[in-house]
Amino acid sequence: MMLLAVALGGLGFWFWYRLRKSGRKVPAAWLGIAGTLIGTIMMTKGMAVTGALVATVSGLWLRFGDSLAGGRAPSPAPLSARDLSRAEAADLLGVSINASRDEIIAAHRKLIARNHPDAGGSPGLAARINAARDTLLKSQET
């Protein structure tokens, strides 16, 4: 039974690591529920201490799993284009201050693809990237 518990725990950790590495959300609930069931079975089979430890850790995973799995802190208020200087905007996008419109748009697309909230990125960072694009594009209009 101990070998089964270690194997299932290792499998759960591997699954969690692969999901985190790919940038997808980690389903904390199924890990916590599975661990709690395994811990309960272990306690009924005579491994009270180990089973209680597994069940306790799984319960903590159920409670705090989202924050342990990379849950997001509340994002700051979205920035408007006027809150960023041209130099800050260019630095954020990784372009020069005098970059062309096409360079700005290409840099924005590349960054937003990696940092969009739907792809596991931060809403605050996505707002800053959008504000940087707007700042640089508006500075070209004048």
Which of 17, 40, 68 is the C-terminal boundary of a domain?
68
Residue 56 belongs to some domain of the structure:
yes
How far is residue 42's CA from residue 65's CA, in Å, rounded to a whole number?
A: 22
As given in the structure block, the two tokens for residue 64 are: 């705090």
**Chosen domain end from 68, 101, 124:** 68
Residues 86 and 60 in one domain: no
Determine contact, residues 136/125, Cβ cutoff 8 Å: no
Is residue 41 assigned to a domain? yes
Looking at the structure of the chain, the number of domains it has is 2
φ/ψ of residue 20, rounded to 5: -65, -40
Range of 34's domain? Answer: 2-68
Site of tokens 């089979």: 45
Euclidean distance between CA atoms 15 and 13, whole angstroms: 5
Outline where DSSP puts E strands in the chain. Answer: none
Domain end among 68, 91, 125: 68
Residues 128, 84: Cα–Cα separation, whole Å:
9
Per-residue pLDDT of the chain (142 residues; tens, 9 = 90+): 566 666 666 666 666 666 666 665 555 566 677 777 788 788 788 888 887 888 777 767 666 665 554 555 444 554 554 567 888 888 989 999 888 999 999 999 999 998 888 888 888 888 889 999 998 998 887 6
